[in-house]
Amino acid sequence: MKNSKPAVNPLLCKVNQTPHATILKLELVSAKDDTVTLKLPFSEHIIGDPFKRLIHGGAITTLMDTVCGAAVFQAQGNFQSMATLDLRVDHMRPADSGLDVFAIAECYRLTNTVAFIRATAYTDNIDEPVATAVASFMRSNVEFPIQ
């Protein structure tokens, strides 16, 4: 199955087109093997700390959830839906105000029913992460609706 799948899932460009991903302006940056990188651009409406003008943790969680799901699509090589079972995000430091946040996720294990993913979010330097995440998703054979 793995050797028949395209290098980059052609439908990946659709992952940021769900209404909520659109609101946060998530962008697909790159995809390779079983990893995907997305970008969360800094914007006024995702600020959580109005005094220091820092991005809200919830927006980072959405970035992590979406990039983990995208990594499953990339590893599967198709667009079969999945549902998040659990997601844990550890916040190492706040992203500097005004900077875009990137997140890279790797689907490191795909069983018949469950996908396991880890992800790292960063701004300039991946060695100084903003957050890390681990997630597991329940797989399904229902096609994800593409608009």
The window from 6-14, 28-36, 85-93, 112-120 that contacts another protein (CB under 8 A) reads 85-93
Please give the residues from 27 up to 56 whose contact with another protein meets the rule CB under 8 A: 44-52, 55-56
- Counting Cα atoms < 13 Å in the Cβ hemisphere of 32 gives 3
- The answer to whether residues 14 and 30 touch, using CB atoms and an 8 Å cutoff, is no
Bridge partners of residue 116, in order along the sequence: 109, 136
The window from 31-39, 81-89, 97-105, 116-124 that contacts another protein (CB under 8 A) reads 81-89
**Using the rule CB under 8 A, is 128 a contact of another protein?**
no
- CB of 7 or CB of 85, closer to another protein: 85
128: number of Cβ within 10 Å: 10
Query: Which position has the token pair 């996908």?
Result: 115
Query: Which position has the token pair 């701004």?
Result: 123
Q: For residue 101, give the nearest of 117, 135, 119, 124 by alpha carbon.
A: 124
Which member of 7, 10, 13, 22 binds another protein (CB under 8 A)? 22
Per CB under 8 A, residues contacting another protein are 18-24, 44-52, 55-59, 61-66, 81, 83-91, 94, 144-145, 147
